[in-house]
Amino acid sequence: MPAALRLGSTAPNFQAETTHGAIDFHQWLGDSFGILFSHPDDFTPVCTTELGEVAKQKAQFDKRGVKVIGLSANSIDSHDRWIQDIKDVSSAEVQFPIIGDEKREIATLYDMLDSLDETNVDNKGLPLTVRSVFFINPAKKIVAMITYPASVGRNFDEILRVLDSLQLSARLNGKITTPVNWQKGDRVIIAPPVKQEEADKLFPQGYETAKPYLRFAQLSKEQEGN
């Protein structure tokens, strides 16, 4: 049984066949941020809409320097046939790889499998792969995870929002966090460990102290990375 994955865990490496050929996962990631997202099955309605949305949003991931890779517990041949359906539905080209995981080895490694009961199995009686999302930083650490049941389609605008927050915090060395409903360009929170003297240097334009532990600041264009 693989060890439980937590925030800060090293993303387990694996070798796999994908629709873009064989990969070693860590080598494929290189020095990039990565998104690994799983699907219950090929030729299923929710998954088809999700992969189509990622295809349409590919330029947004590219702009952020993020590599995306899907996974479904089916063969590469099945994936290749499914991709045509995804194109038909979304009117977008699937330009990212999809992992073939017929034996559910990677799904097991990443603990992506649903509980085995009569409502959460495929037509072979095997547990479904849930809709997991792993955000992996350039150091190969898992920095965020989101899991949905098979019945709920993901919001990829939210996934991009999480990426923006993670990358912004990393760029500013963890000196800031992002508040509820934050969007890129909104005010951020100065992290509590940052002392006043350091905060004054970081934000010479000033900042708002709502509470001693809650300080809001508007980032400069340079700090935003614009």
**CA pair distance 101, 78, nearest whole angstrom:** 11
* 172-224 and 15-153 share a CATH fold: no
pLDDT in tens, 6-30: 999 999 999 999 999 999 999 999 9
pLDDT in tens, 144-190: 999 988 888 999 999 999 999 999 999 999 999 999 999 999 999 99
pLDDT for residue 133:
96
176 three-class SS: strand
DSSP-derived secondary structure letter, 1: -
pLDDT for residue 54:
96
pLDDT in tens, 198-207: 999 999 999 9
17 three-class SS: strand
- The domain ranges of the chain are 15-153, 172-224
146 is catalytic: no
Amino acid letter at 119?
Answer: T
pLDDT in tens, 17-65: 999 999 999 999 999 999 999 988 899 899 999 999 999 999 999 999 9
- SS3 sequence of 83-118: HHHHHHHHCCCCCCCEEECCCCHHHHHCCCECCCCC
CATH-assigned architecture of domain 15-153: 3-Layer(aba) Sandwich (3.40)
How far, in whole angstroms, is CA 60 from its chain's centroid? 13
CATH-assigned architecture of domain 172-224: 2-Layer Sandwich (3.30)
- Per-residue pLDDT band for 127 (boundaries 50, 70, 90) equals low
| DSSP alpha helix (H) spans, the chain | 25-29, 45-63, 76-90, 105-109, 156-171, 196-202, 221-224
100 exposure class (CB count in 10 Å sphere: 0-12, 13-18, 19+) = buried
Per the CB < 8 A criterion, the answer to whether 94 and 87 are in contact is yes
Amino acid letter at 49?
Answer: T
105 pLDDT higher than 80 = yes
Options 47, 94, 130, 168, the catalytic residue = 47
- Per-residue pLDDT band for 129 (boundaries 50, 70, 90) equals low
